[in-house]
Structure 1
């Protein structure tokens, strides 16, 4: 996925869930009100040389959450540099049906230069596939 504009992070596969759903492939919803910890890791691949910035922030019900953005610099001297960005947000669902989205964008204007990257299983040595995004949601109150 290209990151040259603000984009909701796609969440395509659910291993298991109780009381948390993904709607439309990007919206995180809770079946009950309360406080939740939304934690994630995203593997970013930079496909060119130089330094570019990537931003990740939280959106609630279509509005950017104030003070939720974090920037990271990715520097690569050759193609296919990767980094994993991971942090968490504590949120309060005051109404059933509230939804959150992880948003991402980069400063590069070139399409395809910064990507959320999954990697197929590897050999020599054998290793499992790498997901582009891992999301965990826990109710904490």
Structure 2
């Protein structure tokens, strides 16, 4: 049986997952430098060991209310194709193994999140995880 390994995180009351193979690292939130004329969901850029990478606020990108930064807030540094960028999340919850047959296609109407960003919904026990399609996060606009 095939399974996926996911990094799970929260945004508000929702729980999301991304493929661990796309994650380079998870860091605390450093100072973020704003970039003029950037899309509203791009918070700015950070210096990560000499590399300047953009940081995306997933809450803003998904049209959700953004929570205040806390001690648990993190940036998940991901690589999609040749792009490296950070996604700002409220908290990283765990690394999870999920059987492929526990993943269903996205529902026709995804509550609160544009369906182009969702590749599926994972079920683990009583929890539902929204699995993100990272290729779409920086695309589009």
Q: TM-score normalized by structure 2?
A: 0.20
Query: Which has a greater percent of helix?
Result: 2
Higher relative CO (Cα under 8 Å, sequence separation at least 6) belongs to: 1
Q: TM-score normalized by structure 1?
A: 0.20
